[in-house]
């Protein structure tokens, strides 16, 4: 269990948040031109990194806003939190 | 040749103070080259090596394990074995495993303590009742034993369950698979290790894989902490760390690795002689031969490789346990732990070739891989030996995420995670 610093509300308990998985997966710009392989890549394939990973989180039981997080999945340490649309910090 | 375990060997060794038991498996240094390398010395990996040697006569095999055998999810699960899955492909896969379990102790000459004490799944609302009845019918059409129990029959089968209509999630009935049950998880790893070792398989512990060497589209071998080992065939059975190995080979998998928790109570006298699972309130419980209640909790909702898990998950599970079993209210919990499970988007495993020649993956078992250990090993060995899947694991290929032919067991597998 860890504390998460919501960019809108400040530090709150992790149980208030839900994780939306890997961040910065871009929605295909031309969906009709995608092959099945490209769809599979977009929909299902994940980096699932052991180490520093970029993720989307939602403050579900708070402000209900989405934001991004840089977290080390090998020790659950949070390195940075930033709003949607902001440039991801360099790790 | 291994000495056979029997009542006579027990008496003989008892008379000599148990000091002359033969080693159950060797501790070899890796050779330069093998016909096949299995990455991961858990139950599934060791079973794969065992069946490769036994059925396909490939005995020049190394099983490389970064820790000790059975120290990962094999030793961290809640030991439940069942095959009451909804879809035809899953029923075929898991019942294949269950049939092997039924004769496994004899086959391995190693007591895996397989106990067909039955697994009961409870229904707590009308939709549960519909889903579980549907699953019962589907199971029977696939030759998997399953019966529906009314609330009274649930109470009769397991008297300590609170079947009062006044609880938050009342018990409206349940299903029972009588052939299902539990086994001693460590013994499964040890039994397969001993069996594989006897046929010449090298089990190399404390040997972490650091890289996969490729020559174009063909694997060449693995870089390990004990040096480079050459092989044209590599089977990866690394559970929660499958994506880590896949990244070394330059491919991506449709997996997310999450901590799944379990806990055991202080040991008490026999009180529950079956396995009871509840999907809706997420609580399942059985009792070990030592007398501990073995309780399974849920997964965390985020990717993590820490073998811990969040406290709130345990709290939720224990809350549900207490409502269903008020008799446990004053029991103390002794130990809690987590294992990293690799979850597929459709909650079904992958036993498959990959786009790289000679590289095979057996992963994605998520929260329920232990029950499939013998079947998984058997089918993965077939896939590696023939470079083609067996008909029972053909549906569990990696390409299903491209074709869309998913085996969606999320709601159907009787556990909501």
What pLDDT, on the 0 to 100 scale, is given for residue B282?
82
Q: Where are the alpha helices (DSSP H) in B76-122?
A: 88-101, 104-108
List the alpha helices (DSSP H) in B235-310: 242-249
Q: Which of B301, B305, B401 sits opposite A19 (nearest CB)?
A: B301
Please state the domain extents for chain A: 3-83
Cβ of residue B83 closer than 8 Å to a chain A Cβ? no
Chain B CB contacts of A70 below 8 Å: none
| Residues 6+ away with beta carbon under 8 Å from B140 | B146
For strand B61-64 and strand B202-204, is the pairing parallel, antiparallel, or unpaired? Answer: parallel
Asked if A50 and B244 come within 8 Å (Cβ–Cβ), the reply is yes
pTM above 0.90, yes or no: yes
Say yes or no to pLDDT of B407 above 60.
yes
- How many Å lie between the alpha carbon of A25 and the closest alpha carbon of chain B? 14
Residue B397 pLDDT greater than 60, yes or no: yes
Residues of chain A in contact with residue B345, where contact means CB-CB under 8 angstroms, are 43-44
Does A46 contact B306 at a Cβ distance shorter than 8 Å? no
Chain B hits for A48, Cβ within 8 Å: 243, 253, 255-257, 303, 342
The residue ranking higher by pLDDT, A89 or B101, is B101
A81 touches chain B (CB under 8 A): no
By the CB < 8 Å criterion, does A68 face chain B?
Answer: no
User: Which DSSP string corresponds to A9-77?
Assistant: TEEEEGGG-EEEEES--PPPSSGGG--HHHHHHHHT-B---SSEEEEEEE-TTTT--EEEEEEETTTTE
Question: If you average pLDDT over residues B27-42, what whole number do you get?
Answer: 97
Q: Average pLDDT, stretch B224-243?
A: 97
CB contact under 8 A, B303 and A43: no
Give the list of residues 6+ apart from residue B381 with CB closer than 8 angstroms, or none: B47, B48, B49, B50, B51, B52, B55, B56
Question: What are the chain A neighbours of B405 within 8 Å (beta carbons)?
Answer: none
B269 close to B292: Cβ distance less than 8 angstroms: no
pLDDT for residue B325: 96
Interchain CB distance below 8 Å, A48 and B312? no
Chain B partners of A12 at a C-beta cutoff of 8 Å?
Answer: none
A 3-22: CB under 8 A from B: 14-15, 18-19, 21
Could you report the per-residue pLDDT of B340-396, keeping only the tens digit for each?
Answer: 999 999 999 999 999 999 999 999 999 999 999 999 999 999 999 999 999 999 999
- B102-133 pLDDT, tens per residue? 999 999 999 999 999 999 999 999 999 999 99
Give this complex's ipTM: 0.94
Decide: residue B366, CB within 10 A, 0-12 exposed, 13-18 middle, 19+ buried: buried
pLDDT at B342: 96
Find the Cα–Cα–Cα–Cα dihedral B303, B341, A27, B250, rounded to 10°.
100
Listed by number, the residues of chain B in 390-409 with a beta carbon closer than 8 Å to a beta carbon of chain A are 401-404
Separation between Cα atoms, residue B116 and residue B77, nearest integer Å: 17
- Give the single-character DSSP code of B33: B
CA distances from residue B267 to A38, B174, B270, B328 in whole angstroms, order as listed: 53, 27, 9, 12
Residue B21: pLDDT above 70?
Answer: yes
Closest Cα partner for B255 from A12, A46, A8?
Answer: A46
Q: What share of chain B is helix, strand, coil (3-state, %, to 5)?
A: 30, 25, 45
CB atoms within 10 A of CB A49: 19
User: Using one digit for the tens of pLDDT, what is the confidence trace for B313-342?
Assistant: 999 999 999 999 999 999 999 999 999 999
Chain B CB contacts of A19 below 8 Å:
301-303
B350-353 and A77-83 beta bridge pairing: unpaired
Subunit contact B257:A47, Cβ cutoff 8 A = no
CB pairs under 8 A between A and B: 67
pLDDT band at B417 (very low <50, low <70, confident <90, very high): very low
Q: Contact B310/A15, CB-based, under 8 Å?
A: yes
Q: CB of A39 within 8 Å of any CB in chain B?
A: yes
What's the rounded Cα separation, in Å, for the pair B375 and B303? Answer: 28
Cβ separation B305–A73 shorter than 8 A: yes
Q: Do A19 and B302 touch (CB under 8 A)?
A: yes
pLDDT-based confidence at residue A91 (cuts at 50, 70, 90): low
Query: Do the chains contact at B305 and A44, CB–CB below 8 Å?
Result: no
Residue A53: φ, ψ to 5°: -130, 145
The pLDDT, as a whole number, for residue B105 is 97
| pLDDT above 80 for B285 | yes
Residue range B76-86: mean pLDDT, rounded: 96
* CATH of range A3-83; options 3.30.2270.10, 3.40.430.10, 3.40.50.1100, 3.40.630.40: 3.30.2270.10
Cα nearest neighbour of A53 on chain B: B303
B263 touches chain A (CB under 8 A): no
User: Nearest CA to B52 among B246, B247, B230, B195?
Assistant: B195
Distance from CA of B231 to the nearest CA of A (A): 26
Q: Of B203, B281, B149, which is closest to residue B39 (Cα–Cα)?
A: B203
Using a CB-CB cut-off of 8 Å, the residues of chain A touching B302 are: 19, 55
Per-chain mean pLDDT for chain B: 95
pLDDT (0 to 100) of residue B1 = 54
> Cα(B360)–Cα(B254) distance, rounded to whole angstroms?
15
Give the tokens for residue B191. 């039994």
Q: Closest chain A residue to B253 measured between Cα atoms?
A: A45
Cα-based distances in Å from B236 to B37, B39, B178, B213? 8, 5, 33, 14
* Inter-residue contact B203 to B46 (CB < 8 Å): yes
Taking CB atoms and an 8 Å limit, are A47 and B345 in contact across chains?
no
Residues B31-61 as b/e (b if ≥16 CB within 10 A, e otherwise) read eeebebbbbbbbbbbbbbbbbbbbeeebbeb
Assess B261–A contact: CB distance below 8 Å, yes or no.
no
What torsion, rounded to 10 degrees, do the Cα atoms A15, A16, A21, A23 define? -140
């Amino acid at each position: 269990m860890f504390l998460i610093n919501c960019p809108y509300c400040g530090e709150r308990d992790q149980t208030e948040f839900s994780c939306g998985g890997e961040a910065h997966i871009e929605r295909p710009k031309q969906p009709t031109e995608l092959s099945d392989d490209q769809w599979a890549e977009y929909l299902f394939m994940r980096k699932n990194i052991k180490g520093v990973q970029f993720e989307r989180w939602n403050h579900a039981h708070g402000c209900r806003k989405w934001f991004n997080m840089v977290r080390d999945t090998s020790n659950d340490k949070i390195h940075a939190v930033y709003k949607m649309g902001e440039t991801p910090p360099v790790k | 040749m291994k000495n056979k375990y029997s009542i006579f060997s027990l008496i003989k060794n008892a008379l000599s103070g148990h000091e002359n038991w033969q080693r159950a498996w060797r501790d070899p240094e890796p050779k330069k080259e093998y016909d096949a390398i299995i990455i991961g010395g858990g139950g599934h990996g060791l079973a794969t090596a065992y069946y490769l040697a036994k059925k396909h006569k490939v005995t020049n095999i190394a099983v490389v394990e970064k820790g000790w055998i059975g120290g990962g999810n094999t030793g961290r699960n809640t030991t439940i074995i069942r095959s009451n899955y909804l879809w035809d492909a899953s029923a075929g896969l898991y019942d294949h495993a269950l049939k092997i379990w039924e004769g496994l102790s004899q086959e391995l000459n190693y007591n895996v303590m397989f106990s067909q004490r039955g697994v009961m799944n409870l229904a707590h609302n009308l939709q549960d009742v519909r889903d579980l009845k549907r699953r019962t019918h589907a199971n029977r059409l696939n030759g998997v034993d399953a019966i529906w129990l009314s609330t009274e029959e649930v109470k009769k089968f397991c008297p300590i369950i609170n079947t009062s209509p006044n609880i938050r999630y009342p018990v409206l009935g349940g299903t029972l698979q009588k052939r299902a049950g539990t086994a001693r998880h460590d013994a499964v790893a040890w039994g397969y290790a001993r069996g594989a070792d006897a046929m010449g398989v090298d089990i190399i512990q404390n040997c972490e894989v650091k890289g996969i060497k490729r020559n174009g589209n063909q694997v060449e071998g693995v870089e390990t902490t004990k040096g480079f080992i050459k092989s044209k065939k590599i089977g990866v059975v690394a559970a929660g760390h499958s994506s880590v190995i896949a990244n070394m080979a330059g491919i991506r998998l449709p997996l997310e690795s999450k901590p799944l928790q379990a806990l055991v109570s202080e040991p008490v006298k026999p009180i529950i002689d079956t396995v009871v699972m509840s999907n809706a309130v997420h609580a399942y419980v059985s009792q070990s031969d030592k007398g501990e209640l073995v309780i399974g909790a849920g997964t965390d909702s985020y990717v993590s490789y820490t073998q811990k898990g969040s406290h709130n998950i345990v709290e939720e599970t224990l809350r549900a346990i207490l409502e269903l079993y008020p008799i446990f209210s004053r029991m103390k919990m002794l130990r809690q732990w987590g294992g990293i499970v690799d979850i597929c988007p459709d909650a079904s495993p992958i036993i498959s070739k990959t786009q790289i020649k000679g590289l095979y993956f057996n992963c994605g078992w998520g929260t329920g891989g232990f029950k499939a250990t013998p079947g998984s090993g058997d089918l993965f060995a077939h896939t590696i030996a023939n470079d083609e899947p067996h008909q029972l694991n053909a549906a569990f290929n990696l390409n299903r995420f491209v074709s869309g032919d998913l085996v969606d067991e999320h709601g159907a597998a009787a556990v909501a995670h």
